[in-house]
Structure 1
């Protein structure tokens, strides 16, 4: 059976995809940027707009990380405002389970689901570092198993709150027009090693019952958490085969949790460069990558792995001859941390082998190793390759991360989406009113 492609838009904001130097790159903070990207996504019948979240400004070598100099607006505030400018587009936000509390988060998402008439989604994430925790009362470090255990309990608790208010327990007085609440409405009580709360939930059951649940993470614990509780999982796999392997793995875990394969959607993040021809698109993509990774940016990224000051190195020269520093505090603090590299020495060996084999300078190497999944080509080439990934079970759709804010998806919406629609693999209208309906997910009981 031919599968339908799901598409979503990531507001690029503060990440190494954004080309800050392009004159078409506008504000990362002004609301007009959010409304433009959301409007493009809804015009192209995307499932949802996704906002990442940073709970602390990252630092590199004691200074604010380059990607955070514009700041980070609050996710709930932006999504609530976008609820009033969109009609069908889902509104997905990353909200941390390590430093927030279930009652507050459940209340905010239930409110957003009401404001948007059933379009809210929650990307449940954890935070691993004490650096971020310094912004919070209960700061500090949680080992990975405890982070995911807290996340699991957090989601369970929030779900109990969402489900605590039954619609049939809200009665209307026909004579006065007043609403009379049953004493049990909204009542909850939860006690475990992480949370001990009781009371009455303040928000009536929302249109979706509860938000669509997303999860991002490639670790064993992350995959298992997604298989047990998430409606969709975000990935970063950059090849067709890697995507197929990941897809098969997470789908195979669902049966153990009493779930069907269709109950978890797989969304890799990807960038797209559309040109008049394949050659034109490849040329544009090369220019974009050079803009994304300047000489100073390449040295800064290399410092994250080597964990030491490399400012004296020439970005157009070779890698340092000495090995990374594996002891001491990380030179980069926050979510841009070198934790992404795992074994520093092993990663450095791999980079040296690649650089020697392909005769790459530092900058050329960083351009190579930081590349994400990309579709590059003419509109027909991009449409064909995206459809191939979905039909061959490497994904159920894609989260598009444009390199320009806010117009980075305009070309895709105008030139690629119509071709997907002509192939019969992408909708021409939204099939439902809620995000859960548009994603084809089963309703919440």
Structure 2
């Protein structure tokens, strides 16, 4: 009698056949108390976890010990003021670039990805902050470029109304172009520090941007040398049509919410094809769906822990989260036990998430209350709850069937939910040959297998040389 090979044996054989050329990329999405909306009420979570530096330092060390690619921090520049806001811990958090600067000092390999909105910032300031942090960390920074979906942010920046969806993306495209131009203010060898000649930099390798566009006028140059990575890694999370266009043209890492493998495969194929159409190699764009992961030694333990978290959810909290995630639409007047009605297309929130959650409710025949409780943990992302083998099988299945290049792991609560991932799940993925056992480089680009972008001036100089040599 013969038996079928286990998933781990199949994976290891496939990895050997490929020379282990393709492995998962794993990020750690660290969100205040954890990703479950009621995590802050759980006894394992320290009080005011979102502003607990010691906790974040511990989590960063955990992530680095597990050889994860990066830790990822979300952000909003306003408090949560919608339905049930007083029952959420989301309004208590560090400014992420400040926090990552502190974490950079206590780590040496883990990537550091920060969300920074293009809607309510200026490109010179953001380019300068990210370039500085990339130097401070030795080349480990990524920028999660977002357009704000929290309409409350407008009032903090002198605006009476939030920017419309299309306007936010047009601003974002120009914002990114300006930032990239500023990062190329200096060529790699511009700072010559020639003390004998008294020449600090080569003026022929210094470039003034002089950008004048629809949204910004920026002279430049940036007063920070070129980044150790050439440029910080560009991360993008939009899944609407403008978001996909921006990602295909410019992003190097994409975070996405996909609840099923079929949807993830369709998104993966679409975005890779768009990148190729934009003249980019498919592998220049890594796609990491979010994965709400609750892992335990046994399936029963995992399900019990999820049930415990669900029992802590107040109805107002669940409804408030759904109201926020479905497009900043107040759902309080609707029947908890009735299906979700047709909703107007949001112009101030996330259109892609509104469409995803609406379809999730309709396809599952869920009532408003059932949908609100269903997203209390993963907010529409892949939900993997079970034993180590259960969860590893799910991630492996998505990875090996072109649904993902890896995952942005979303622990339900901190720190214990994350420790279960790093100490139980990651070793199993390593045993299967799906994930690294040690870092092979020092920068975030190294971890992701991304090329260091050449300076445009350097490319131009090479082209000029070729013209002279071969007229």
Common topology (TM > 0.5): yes
Q: How does 1:149-160 map to 2 (within 5 A)?
A: 149-160=170-181
Give the Å deviation of 1:303. 6.1
Q: 1:294 to 1:80 in 2, by over 3 A?
A: same
The alignment status of 1:354 with 2:354, answered yes or no, reads: no
1:221 counterpart SS class = helix
C-alpha deviations, 1:221-246, integer Å up to 9, x for none? Answer: 10111000000111110111111111
Match of 1:367 in 2: 373
C-alpha deviations, 1:258-286, integer Å up to 9, x for none? Answer: 10110001111112122222233233333
Give the Å deviation of 1:149. 1.6
Asked if structure 2 preserves the Cα contact closer than 8 Å seen for 1:128 and 1:143, the reply is no
Gap runs ≥5 in structure 2: 1-17, 455-471
C-alpha deviations, 1:289-311, integer Å up to 9, x for none? Answer: 333x3333234456667735449
Find the partner of 1:44 among 66, 77, 85. Answer: 66
Distance between the aligned counterparts of 1:107 and 1:74, measured in 2? 16
Distance between the aligned counterparts of 1:302 and 1:431, measured in 2? 41
Structure showing the higher strand proportion among its residues: 1
1:201 counterpart SS class = coil
C-alpha deviations, 1:365-407, integer Å up to 9, x for none? Answer: 4223555312222212222221121111110111111121233
Distance between the aligned counterparts of 1:338 and 1:241, measured in 2? 20
Q: 1:194 to 1:278 in 2, by over 3 A?
A: same
Give the Å deviation of 1:199. 3.3
Asked if structure 2 preserves the Cα contact closer than 8 Å seen for 1:129 and 1:142, the reply is no
Give the Å deviation of 1:55. 0.8
Find the partner of 1:405 among 407, 410, 414. Answer: 414
The alignment status of 1:429 with 2:438, answered yes or no, reads: yes
Match of 1:359 in 2: none
Q: How does 1:25-64 map to 2 (within 5 A)?
A: 25-26=45-46, 27-61=49-83, 64=85
Distance between the aligned counterparts of 1:404 and 1:342, measured in 2? 27
Find the partner of 2:118 among 77, 80, 97. Answer: 97
1:180 counterpart SS class = coil
Distance between the aligned counterparts of 1:152 and 1:420, measured in 2? 37
Report the TM-score, using the length of structure 2 for normalisation: 0.82
Find the partner of 2:188 among 158, 161, 167. Answer: 167
Give the Å deviation of 1:179. 5.8
Q: 1:369 to 1:87 in 2, by over 3 A?
A: closer
Q: 1:163 to 1:287 in 2, by over 3 A?
A: same
Q: 1:391 to 1:136 in 2, by over 3 A?
A: same
Gap runs ≥5 in structure 1: 356-361
Q: 1:343 to 1:279 in 2, by over 3 A?
A: closer
Find the partner of 1:257 among 278, 287, 300. Answer: 278
Distance between the aligned counterparts of 1:126 and 1:412, measured in 2? 30
Match of 2:392 in 1: 383
Find the partner of 1:6 among 4, 12, 25. Answer: 25
Distance between the aligned counterparts of 2:318 and 2:190, measured in 1? 59
Asked if structure 2 preserves the Cα contact closer than 8 Å seen for 1:14 and 1:67, the reply is no
Distance between the aligned counterparts of 1:203 and 1:65, measured in 2? 41
C-alpha deviations, 1:167-188, integer Å up to 9, x for none? Answer: 3222222448x66123352532
Over the residues paired in the alignment, what is the CA RMSD in angstroms? Answer: 3.1
Query: Which range is displaced more, 301-310 or 3-12?
Result: 301-310
Report the TM-score, using the length of structure 1 for normalisation: 0.86
